[in-house]
Chain A
Amino acid sequence: MDPETFRRDLTAWLDANADELTPPYEGAGSMDEQMAHYSHVKRSLYDAGFGRYGWPESVDGLGGSPLLRAIVGEEINLRGLCDPNPWTMIEVLVPTVIEFARTEVAAALVPPFLRGDEMWCQGFSEPDAGSDLASLSCRADKTDGGWLVSGQKIWTSFIQYAQRCVLLTRTGEPNSAHRGITALLVDVDSPGITYSPIETMHGRLDFAEVHYDEVFVPTERLIGEENGGWQVAMDILPYERSTTFWHRGALLHRRLSDLVAQLSDSGDLSDTSAKAIGEVFLSLVAFRSRSRDTQYRLARGQQLGVETSIDKILITSAEQQLFEAVRDLLPGVVEFDGGDHAAMWRTDYLYSRAASIYGGTAEIQRNIVARRLLDLGPES
């Protein structure tokens, strides 16, 4: 299906079902409310077919270009119908699971995730393996019919809602770095998994610290090769920076539009506001232009890689500039004001501070650009 026809059909359907798809809560809602609404929106899109395009038939999709998935998330975010964060998990994890997991495992487990009936999470970071991911130490030891996993993970988003977790484990010697890592698809209700949520600075339980105590994972849940987990992780990262970034770019576009409408309504045409708005818009357009190129490269089947660090740096700058501009141009709203409207600006302002940390810090991204794209040789 060509993207233009798809978008036309999708937007007509979204308009016709606007009432039913609009969040029932005021403001940002609680996390439980958000997750319930996310499931509802996903299910509705799936039943209408739109949520199945861009995914292969092997996981109950309807085929077609990944551009179609970019379009669905874009339109949802432009309308503010659903919080984008739970949505990212599918886009980040599923393409890699389809490519690297056993066909029958993907065929059985992916469809409920696409339908919004289930949630997945991602167990990569550890207390001592953040930016230095290859030093992770959560062990998976061979046992009859599978592995026993023991160790600790951190920053695991949505585990309290999740049924599965894509987990990176140490299967080689402790110092085997990226060579001795294995990826497993773990059921979150397996005995031996316990977690405690971590509260963020914007007052949410976005993620958790997770303990694995001799958690049994059957052989068929291997993703990729044994000791081939680094390749799986490296395959995931570009997905994190393609479709989901396009979606987030749409959200930023909507929030910039909100800011412009609010200033415009108050008759603000000052140089200060014009300059700040123009600069944010420039950064956002730069990101969206770059990200558009990336969507097309993905759609043509090109392998995405470290060059997506540029997309990451561009969206981070755009997001942080946008919410700094909110604080500058709507004085006191972030700091003092009450009500849902101010609360959402405040939440977005605080959340934007994480943009230069999650998914590889701003500094790590620059290291990658320097080493891999500019070929500057090793760092001292």
Chain B
Amino acid sequence: MSGFIEPEDAGLLASSFAAAMLDAPDPGEADQALYDLGWADLLAASPAQGAAIAFGALGATGSAATLLDDVVVHALGVPVSPSTCVLFDATLYTNPAAPQPGDPRSLMEDNPFVVNGLVSSRVERATTVLIAVDEFEGTAVAAMDAGLLREPEPTGIDPAHAYRHVSVRIPTDAVTPVNAEGNWEDAVTAARMALSYQLTGGARWILTEARQHAIDRVQFGRPVASFQAMRHKLAESLVLIEGAESLGATCLRDPDPMKAALAKSLAGKAALTTANHAQQVLAGMGFTAEHRLHLWLKRMLVLDALYGSYKSLPTEIGRDLLIYGTVPRLIQL
């Protein structure tokens, strides 16, 4: 983090970002509005804190702006632009006979590639897609024309967000190596941190909605908020959210891959547990398309599924601990 943003300024930025997101429901317009507000400069000056501010606002507003592309592009050490997007969770399968991994130029060899991964809705308007491949001796980054990954209809549970799975064969000359200073691990860490702020921001929104409903909704002559079963569900949601927010802040002070994975996992757990509890509190209303819960639920499912879900990350982390046979202290006074 090169420039520390004071809490007061962070608050102002968060409000202006949130206002811009609410004003521009279309993801492309939202991206442009955020660029106009200085998102790219913020990311360059204070990548982690900038992402925390912007992604908290994404979670709270439910905006489908595609800032995750920028976070990954920046962490790979490539200049960000609203017309550059990335292939998330990318695997680029080369022919087994292709040259050794580790050489970015391996991408240039004479074999057809299968590009397999996720892209955000930015692919619809972008010119370039970056593909980063984690290789033995570093990270190879290649660029290709976004048009090759465009599909007529976005698929998936969250059409507004419009992440889509792509799996296409491309000609060899479709990819060109990119000189990138960043690496795969940093990109994954940055993405996980950003996603954790969006997840906790979303979890807060869901909890606020459920709390208000519990207070307003009267059954048996009293607010359903007075029933202990409801209260405990909401209390457990708050406990998880506060834990996840604390870990998110710890990550900001001192980022590292393991903390980012833990923060992402805890935030996913907080968001989906809160969504489940809110579902019960909101009951029938929460199952309708009229109530916005479903929008946040679907968004949280998608965010949790990116870069390792809350259920899968602990297994990865636990295996690391078993391999090394020790447990890092991680949280220091």
Contact = CB atoms under 8 A, between A and B. Distances in A.
Determine if chain A interacts with chain B. Answer: yes
Contacts of B322: 260, 263-264, 268-269, 273-274, 277
B318 to A, nearest CB: 3
Contacts, number: 154
Interface stretch (A139-147, A150-158, A230-238, A289-297): A289-297
B313 interface: yes
Interface string A68-86: 0011001000000000000
A108 to B, nearest CB: 32
A380 interface: yes
Interface stretch (A18-26, A119-127, A172-180, A362-370): A362-370
Given A71-B333, A277-B322, A286-B244, A376 B215 contact: yes
A193 interface: no
B228 A257 contact: no
A274 B250 contact: no
Contacts of A370: 231-232, 234-235
Contacts of A369: 235, 238-239
B122 interface: no
B2 interface: no
Interface string A1-30: 001000100000000000000000000000
A276 B333 CA distance: 26
Contacts of A257: 326-327
A241 interface: no
A271 B244 CA distance: 24
A377 B223 contact: yes
A264 B323 contact: yes
Given A285-B262, A288-B331, A292-B333, A278 B319 contact: yes
Given A273-B322, A279-B318, A380 B227 contact: yes
Interface string B238-280: 1100111011011000000001001001100100000000000
Given A376-B214, A376-B215, A378-B226, A282 B317 contact: yes
A278 B314 CA distance: 4
Q: How large is the interface on B (under 10, 10 to 19, 20 to 34, 35 or more residues)?
A: 35 or more
Contact of B315 (A261, A278, A376, A377): A278
Contact of B266 (A264, A286, A293): A286
Given A257-B326, A376-B215, A278 B235 contact: no
12 contacts: A67-B333, A74-B333, A257-B326, A261-B325, A277-B318, A278-B315, A281-B327, A282-B265, A285-B331, A289-B250, A376-B225, A380-B227
Interface of A: 3, 7, 67, 70-71, 74, 246, 253, 256-257, 260-261, 263-265, 268-269, 271, 273-279, 281-282, 285-290, 292-293, 295, 310, 313-314, 363, 365-367, 369-371, 373-374, 376-380
Interface of B: 211, 214-215, 222-223, 225-228, 231-232, 234-236, 238-239, 242-244, 246-247, 249-250, 259, 262, 265-266, 269, 313-319, 321-327, 329-333
Given A286-B246, A377-B225, A379-B228, 8 more contacts: A260-B325, A277-B314, A285-B331, A286-B266, A374-B231, A376-B226, A376-B234, A378-B226
Top-7 shortest CB links A-B: A278-B318, A278-B314, A264-B325, A370-B231, A277-B318, A380-B226, A274-B318
